[in-house]
Chains A and B, each alone.
Chain A
Amino acid sequence: QSVLTQPPSVSGAPGQRVTISCTGSSSNIGAGYDVHWYQQLPGTAPKLLIYGNSNRPSGVPDRFSGSKSGTSASLAITGLQAEDEADYYCQSYDSSLREVFGGGTKLTVL
């Protein structure tokens, strides 16, 4: 059971918009700690996708965006492409447990 809760799976057709939620608590996201997102393509190491709630590293398309409100955060992907099919993880800091991850969400492009 992960400290941060994500839906196990989401899906969308090419060109559509999907969102992935990440729900925490008052000891992590709700305490003001930032949320970061990672993309893990099949058979590869995870890659930083969003840092500091809503910032994209150089090279990440602007189709990916992040937001945070209260004890939750969201990752939105617009203009869905087949290459976006991957596992997505949120990560934050918890005042008791230190670094924590969400359980991961598998994105399927229909």
Chain B
Amino acid sequence: EVQLVQSGAEVKKPGESLKISCKGSGYSFTSYWIGWVRQMPGKGLEWMGIIYPGDSDTRYSPSFQGQVTISADKSISTAYLQWSSLKASDTAMYYCVRITMVRGVSNWFDPWGQGTLVTVSS
């Protein structure tokens, strides 16, 4: 079974750093892009960026460029999303996704991790 398992919920203070993880199993981790999606409380889905664990090629949404860092350790089939200085506005649920790309015109997200809730509050 293809599965993405994310790290647990986090409660942090503004200005603190954070790194959350997403471990893939049941497939060749280095052969698929992994993405991160943000969902703020009561809001919709926002694509943040993607990484190809095979060579660590990384792309960011313009909205998140410079705000977060996406990385991966292919030796342990794990992708990461990190912040160097959290803000209250970073409070959200974060999902990792495996991306299937076909012919350059069709990229879909499946499966999704269970989500990591990040709460930033003083």
Asked if B102 is at the interface of the complex by the 8 Å CB criterion, the answer is: yes
Distance (whole angstroms) from the CB of A50 to the closest CB of chain B: 9
Contact of A97 among B50, B61, B108 (CB under 8 A): B61
Chain A residue at minimum C-beta to C-beta distance from B113: A45
Contacts of B115 in A (CB 8 A): 45
Picked from B35, B62, B108, the residue with its CB within 8 Å of the CB of A48 is: B108
- Is B32's CB within 8 Å of the partner chain A? no
Evaluate contact between A32 and B105: CB separation under 8 angstroms: yes
Contact with B along A83-104 (1 / 0, CB 8 A): 0000001010100011111111
The contact size tier of chain B is 20 to 34
Selected contact of A104 from candidates B45, B50, B59, B62, CB within 8 Å: B45
Distance, CA A47 to CA B108, complexed state (A): 11
A61 at the interface (CB under 8 A from B): no
With known contacts A45-B114, A98-B47, A100-B47, A51–B105 Cβ distance under 8 A: no
Q: Is the CB of A51 within 8 A of B45?
A: no
A99 touches B113 (CB 8 A): no
Contact, CB under 8 Å: B105 / A101: no
Asked whether B61 lies within 8 Å of A98 as measured between CB atoms, the reply is: yes
A99 touching B61 in the complex, CB below 8 Å, given contacts A46-B45, A48-B110, A104-B44:
yes
Nearest 8 A-B pairs (CB), nearest first?
A34-B106, A48-B110, A99-B47, A104-B44, A36-B108, A51-B108, A45-B112, A101-B45
Residue ranges of B at the interface with A (Cβ–Cβ < 8 Å): 35, 44-47, 50, 59, 61-62, 95, 100, 102, 105-115
